[in-house]
Amino acid sequence: MGLIDAFKRWQLAKKGLSSGKKRRVQNEASVSGSLDRSIWVRFSLYLTFCVSAAVIVMRALAVGEEGAVPLSGSLFAFCLAVSAVTVIELNHTKITERNGRVVLLLGGILAQLALIRGMHWVEASNHLPEEVGFLLTPFVLAPMLHAVLLGGPAGVFSAVYVSLLGTLLVQDDGKTLFMAVSLLSGLVAALTLRRTRRRVQLLRAGFYSGLMAFMLSALFGVVNLGAGTMDDWRMIGQAAAAALGMGIGTALLVSGFLPVLEGMFQLTTDISWLELSDLNHRLLKRMQLEAPGTFHHSLVVASLSESAAEAVGANAALCRVCAYFHDVGKLSKPEYFIENQGDGVENPHDSLTPTMSALIIVAHVKDGVDLALKHRLNPRVINVIREHHGDSLVSYFYRKAQEQKRDEIEKVEKKLENPEDLPKIDQKNFRYPGPRPRSRESGIISLADAIESASRTLKKPTPAKIRALVEDLVEKRICDGQLDDCELTMKDLAVVKSQFCKTLRSMLHSRIDYPKDEKGAKSDAGRGSDAERREKRKKSNKTQQLPPPHEVTKAKKVAPVAKAES
C-alpha cells in the first residue's frame, strides 16, 4: 500500500495537483490503546491490588507479635482494598479513563506499603531509637506523587488509604499514632500540592509534612519535649532531623522521578507545561521571523485562554502552551493569512477562486499537525492544533463563493454564459476537517482564537461593542455544535465570556490625544550645547543692531509725507 500511495502522489504532483509530500500522521497503537481503556484489564488491576494488599498485611502479621491472626488481618485488608477500588470507580472517572493511571495510583499505594514494612524491618534490625525509627517512615511518598501527577483529589485518596492499610502493618500499641501521623501528614502534602507549578513547592510540602509528623509525635508523647538533660535534647534534635529530613528527602525523590513517570504514563504536570512555555522553541522563533502577525495573535490568544481557564478551574498552563502552538501550520504559507500581510502588499487571494482560498486556509490545521509531529510536541498540544477550529465554516470565502455564483446566475439569465458553466458550491469544501474540541481547554482556546481575530475589526472599541462581539461569536459556536463534545457547561461559558470581555477591555483600551505644546516644542528645539547657544546669541545680536544715522534721517523725512497722504 505504501508503494501504491507513493505512486499516486507522484502522479498528482506531475499534474500539478499535489506537492508530492506526505503529511505525518500521529501514531495510534490500536493494541496498546485498547488495553489502556479496556474495562477487563482495569478490573484485573483492581483484583491484583486487593490480593497484593492482603498478602502484604498477612506477611507482616505472620512475622509480628504473638496473638496476631494473619488471616483475619489480611481479610480486613482485602475489604479495605475493595472499598478503595470502589471509590476510584465511582468518584475518580478521570483516572479510570486510562488503565495506566490506575496502575500509577494503585501501584504507588502498594509501593508505599512495602516501604513502610521495609522501614519497620530496618528499625528492628539496626536497633534504632523508637522516636527516630518511627519518624523515618515515608508517610507522604504516595500522596505527594499522586497529588502532582494525578491531581489533589488523587493525593487525598492516597493519603487516606495508605493510612488505613498501613495501620494494619504496625503493632497494636502504635496503630493510633501511625494513623494520625500518616493521615494528617499525607493530607498536608496533598493539599499543599494541589496546583504545583514550581519544584520548590515540593520542598515546601515535604517540610510542612515533616513538621506535622514531628508535632504529632510530640503531642502523642513519642517525643518528650519536657525533658531537661542533654541526652533528651539530643534525642529531640535527632527526632526533628529525622522528621524534617524524611519529608524533604521524599520531596527530592518525587522531584527526581517526575520526568521518568511522566514519560512512562504519558502524563504532563503543570511544572512541565511551564517549562514548555519557553518562547525560545524553534517553531516559535520561526513564527516570530516568518509570520510575526500570527505570532502576536498566538500571544493574545494565550492570554485570553489562560485567564478564562483559571476562572473556570481548567488547566491554565496547558492553555497557554497550546495557544502558543495552535497556529504553527500557518508557517507553510504565512502570506495567505491576513495578519501577516503588510500595508501595500497585494493579497494573494485576489487571484484565486474562493474554493481554492478556502482549501489553503483549511490546510493550516493539517500542516500544523505535521509540524508538531516533526518537532515531537506534546500529544495534548497536537490535539488542540487539530481541534481548535473543529468542523466550523470558513464563512468569508463561503459567502464570497455564493456572491460569485449569484453574479454568474444573472449572466446566465441574460444569456451571457452557458448554464453548464455555473460553479457548484458544496459547503463541505469550506469546512475544517475536525474533530470538534474534546476537552475544556481545547474549547476555551477555540473560542479565544475566534474572538481575538474578530476583535481586530472593531473600530473605536467600547465595553458594549466588546460584549456584543463575544456574545455573538460564542452563540454562533454553540448553535453550530462546535462545543458539543467538550465538557464546558453553560455556567462555564458564562464565566469564560465574562473573562474574555474583561481581558479584551484591558487590551483594546483607547488613549487620549495629547495636545502639542508649540511653545514647549520651540523651546525644546532651541536647546543645544553651550557653543551652539553662543553662536545663536551672536546672530540674534547682529539682526537687532540699529540702522545707520543717514537711514534714520531719511526715515524722518519720509514720515510726514506718508502722514499727509494718509
Q: Three-state SS across 486-548?
A: CCCCHHHHHHHHHHHHHHHHHHCCCCCCCCCCHHHHHHHHCCCCHHHHHHHHHHHHHHCCCCC
Q: How far apart are CA 275 and CA 108, in angstroms?
A: 25
> Which CATH number do you get for residue 358?
1.10.3210.10
Last residue of a domain, one of 507, 535, 557: 507
What grid cell was written down for 531? 557653543
User: How high is the pLDDT of residue 562?
Assistant: 38
Whether residues 287 and 198 share a domain: the answer is no
Whether residues 341 and 481 share a domain: the answer is yes
Residue 11 forms beta bridges with which residues? Answer: none
Element housing 374 (H / E): helix 354-374
Tens of pLDDT, residue by residue over 183-220, are: 999 999 999 998 888 899 999 999 999 999 999 988 88
User: Which of 254, 171, 186 is closest to 216 using CA atoms?
Assistant: 186
Whether residues 489 and 502 share a domain: the answer is yes
Strand intervals (E) in 363-441: none
Q: Is residue 538 part of a domain?
A: no
Whether residues 465 and 493 share a domain: the answer is yes
Q: Which residue has the cell 509528623?
A: 213
Q: Which residue has the cell 494503585?
A: 106
Tens of pLDDT, residue by residue over 510-553, are: 666 666 655 554 554 455 555 555 555 555 555 555 455 444 44
As for how many domains the chain has, the answer is 4
CB atoms within 10 A of CB 388: 26
Residue 393 forms beta bridges with which residues? Answer: 431
Q: Is residue 536 part of a domain?
A: no
Is 304:500 a contact under the CB 8 Å cutoff?
Answer: yes
Whether residues 229 and 281 share a domain: the answer is no
Is 305:323 a contact under the CB 8 Å cutoff?
Answer: yes
DSSP assignment of 336-369: GSGGGPPTTPPPGGGGS-HHHHHHHHHHHHHHHH
Does residue 138 have a cis peptide bond before it, meaning omega lies within 30 degrees of 0?
no
Is 70:61 a contact under the CB 8 Å cutoff?
Answer: yes
Q: Is residue 169 part of a domain?
A: yes
Whether residues 235 and 347 share a domain: the answer is no
Is 451:436 a contact under the CB 8 Å cutoff?
Answer: no
Q: Is residue 400 part of a domain?
A: yes
State the DSSP code for 436: P
Structural domain boundaries enclosing 25? 1-33
Whether residues 180 and 136 share a domain: the answer is yes
User: Which of 273, 279, 284 is closest to 375 using CA atoms?
Assistant: 284
User: How high is the pLDDT of residue 228?
Assistant: 64
User: How high is the pLDDT of residue 560?
Assistant: 43
Q: At what angle do helices 141-150 and 230-265 cross, to 10 degrees?
A: 30
Whether residues 382 and 401 share a domain: the answer is no
Distances (CA, A) of 546 to 536, 543, 550: 19, 9, 12
User: How high is the pLDDT of residue 534?
Assistant: 55
Is 436:486 a contact under the CB 8 Å cutoff?
Answer: yes
What is the amino acid identity at position 86?
Answer: T
Whether residues 206 and 342 share a domain: the answer is no
User: How high is the pLDDT of residue 405?
Assistant: 85
What are the pLDDT tens digits along the chain (566 aa)?
Answer: 556 666 566 565 555 545 556 666 666 555 667 788 899 999 999 999 999 999 999 888 876 555 455 788 889 999 999 999 999 999 999 899 999 999 999 999 999 999 998 887 777 777 677 778 888 889 999 999 999 999 999 999 999 999 999 999 887 777 899 999 999 999 999 999 988 888 999 999 999 999 999 999 888 877 777 666 777 778 888 888 999 999 999 999 999 999 999 999 989 999 999 989 999 999 999 999 999 999 999 999 999 999 999 999 999 999 999 999 999 999 999 999 999 987 777 889 988 989 999 999 999 999 999 999 999 999 999 999 999 999 999 999 999 999 888 888 887 777 777 777 677 888 888 999 989 999 999 999 999 999 999 998 888 889 999 999 999 999 999 999 999 999 899 999 999 999 999 999 988 866 666 666 555 545 544 555 555 555 555 555 555 554 554 444 444 444 443 333 33
CB atoms within 10 A of CB 494: 12
Q: Is residue 514 part of a domain?
A: no
DSSP assignment of 33-70: HHHHH-HHHHHHHHHHHHHHHHHHHHHHHHTS-TT--H
Whether residues 452 and 356 share a domain: the answer is yes
